[in-house]
Chain A
Amino acid sequence: MTQCKYESQRVAYPYFLIAILLFAGQILFGLIIGAQYVWPDFLFPAIPFNIARMIHINLLVVWIIFGFMGSAYYLLPEEVEGEIYSTKLALIDCYLFLVGGIIAIAGYLFRWHDGREFLEQPTIIKIAIVIVVLLFIFNMIMTMVKGRKRTSISIVLLGGFLGLAVFYLFAFYKPANLTEDKFYWWWVVHLWVEGVWELIMASLLSFLIIKLTGIDREVAEKWLYIIIGLTLFTGIVGTGHHYYWIGTPAFWKTWGAWFSASEPLPFLAMVAFAFKMVRKRTREHPNRAAVLWTVGSAVMAFLGAGVWGFMHTLPKINYYTHGTQITASHGHLAFFGAYAMIVLAMISYAVPNIRKSGGFANQKAEILAFWTMVISMIFIAITLTGAGIAQAYLQRVVGLSYMETQGQIAIFYIVRLFFGLTFAAGLIIYIYDFFSSSKTA
């Protein structure tokens, strides 16, 4: 079996391990808030909804970033043909991030938090995050400088991380005017997930496609530039779809609509790229699970970010769906498809190569986990979409109050919780497989 070519690639392993454990934590808190929708007294008042939801989403962001960093450390030596500049720094940074993350999450449980959505990290934790990311970027740049080559994949990946660092700085800016506050808040949130994170995703996707199909690098990297071009041409001005109702001028309804309606294009290009390259493959890679995660990520990102995003992005529709469960359904499917799955694809590909014992994870178990999680997430999204449509109609057309409406749509939350549990079952299979094959393989 293929082993990693460069010893320093192994430093990715602790990042991947932590990512998976934090993923499990994210799902645990997802189940808690899913249960609170059904039984509002569950864990109340010890862990109220707002705290559990804060933890659910913060863990998501942190494990994805752990996954991105691990992926970068795995991919860089092969791309630039040279070892990581400092594996020691990579490890120190990893543990610094882990300790910071644990302190933040534990702090939330004791109500130590700031209060803007997703940016609840107290200022000192935010500063720690910036330090962690800058140390990582330093290590990445030094690796690229010392390496023999600089490929497009590595440059785009670096661009993605630089963007991640730069736009996070807007988290420190908190104007008193709520409209202005929300305006720049989206520079972190939107320009991350519908901007620079897609650069990271696209470069990981290109790397995986090259490794798994054996297609020509020139072709893959041309596609990479087309994908990220479509991403930023549509995504930057597409920020405007968040500026319809927050006090910003009405012209955003036009700009936001046109540009964000085009935001599915980069995801469509990813799907076309993945399928075309897999069809033209010059090798049958034995790691079927990695191929499945890779192609699956492109497809699910297109569904979740592209189709589910398009569904409610036009102002005439968004007027009724804004701030309903429709948004939640889109968020779940998009994040899982685009970011969770691309990280799981990298883990699936890289970890068997990192483990000295060699060998792949139990492919059957991993593929079962894949389908269980993917199908569960699709049903979570469909259920929340149903809830959202009913909510928009009852509350905004019929005119029932918020809580009356919630009573009417209770059944959707029960079904959603059920699929949350099946998702968790898929994750348990995945984790069991991950750890059992580390012993036996």
Chain B
Amino acid sequence: MTKSSARNIFIGGTLFFAAVFLILTYKSLSSETLSKRTHPENISDKVVWGKRIWERNACIDCHTLLGEGAYYAPELGNVIKRRGEAGVRAILKTDALQGWGTVRKMPKFNLSEKDIDGLVEFFKWVGRIDTNNWPPNEQG
């Protein structure tokens, strides 16, 4: 193989696989697929607010959400199922988060009632995403 044939294979192959990827992307994010797997119609203002609170406090840099994030604290994609809505509210409300049931501690984020509502609705919505049955059990 010469250098120029290697270059041509590189260019042609990259364009080809980029096209394959874009087709798969299109199929993944079509409104039909998204509505079947993620139920976007349930993304209420509260869910949107909850996602914003989730980001504002960089929760992902300790927790995982659908398995992505840091690995210092539990998975939260299924937290409503695991702890129940009341349990999640209690955790988010408690000022004594310092040392909540464990040795690792969650910082105090001074969440308002609206923030807690948003987070709970956000977690509920995430919990209903079709994740191909991940995680393997309730423990996340």
Which A residues are within 8 Å of any B CB, using their own CB?
33, 36-37, 40-41, 44-45, 48-51, 53-54, 113-117, 120, 152, 176-180, 182-183, 218, 221-222, 225-226, 228-229, 232-233, 236-237, 239-240, 242-253, 255, 319-320, 322-325, 327-328, 395-397, 399-403, 405-406
Contact = CB atoms under 8 A, between A and B. Distances in A.
B116 to A, nearest CB: 17
A396 B28 contact: no
B71 A229 contact: no
Interface string B7-20: 10110011001101
17 contacts: A50-B60, A50-B107, A53-B72, A113-B58, A117-B60, A178-B129, A180-B34, A183-B29, A226-B1, A229-B14, A233-B13, A236-B14, A237-B24, A242-B68, A245-B135, A255-B24, A327-B71
A77 B71 CA distance: 44
Contacts of B57: 50, 115
Nearest to B12: A229
Given A45-B108, A116-B55, 17 more contacts: A44-B105, A48-B105, A50-B58, A50-B70, A53-B62, A179-B34, A225-B3, A229-B9, A229-B13, A232-B17, A233-B17, A236-B17, A239-B21, A240-B24, A327-B71, A397-B136, A402-B75
A120 B24 contact: no
B66 A246 contact: yes
Given A53-B70, A324-B71, A117 B61 contact: yes
Contacts of B136: 319-320, 396-397
Q: Contact residue range for chain B?
A: 35 or more
A343 B24 CA distance: 34
A402 B34 contact: no
A218 B136 CA distance: 51
A50 B17 contact: no
Given A236-B17, A320-B136, A324-B71, A176 B28 contact: no
Contacts of B139: 395-396, 399-402, 405
Nearest to B100: A403
B1 A222 contact: yes
B56 A45 contact: no
Most buried by A among B20, B62, B72, B138: B72
Given A51-B58, A180-B34, A403-B101, A246 B68 contact: yes
B49 to A, nearest CB: 10
B114 interface: no
A117 B33 contact: no
Interface string B65-83: 1111111111100000000
Interface in B113-131: 125-126, 129-131
B122 to A, nearest CB: 8
Contacts of A250: 132
A225 B71 contact: no
Given A247-B37, A247-B130, A37 B72 contact: yes
B103 A323 contact: no
Query: What are the 6 tightest A-B residue pairs by CB atom distance, in nearest-first order?
Result: A115-B55, A323-B67, A50-B61, A245-B134, A225-B6, A402-B74
Contacts of A152: 3, 7
A243 B3 contact: no
A113 B59 CA distance: 12
A241 to B, nearest CB: 12
A251 B24 contact: yes
A120 B21 contact: no
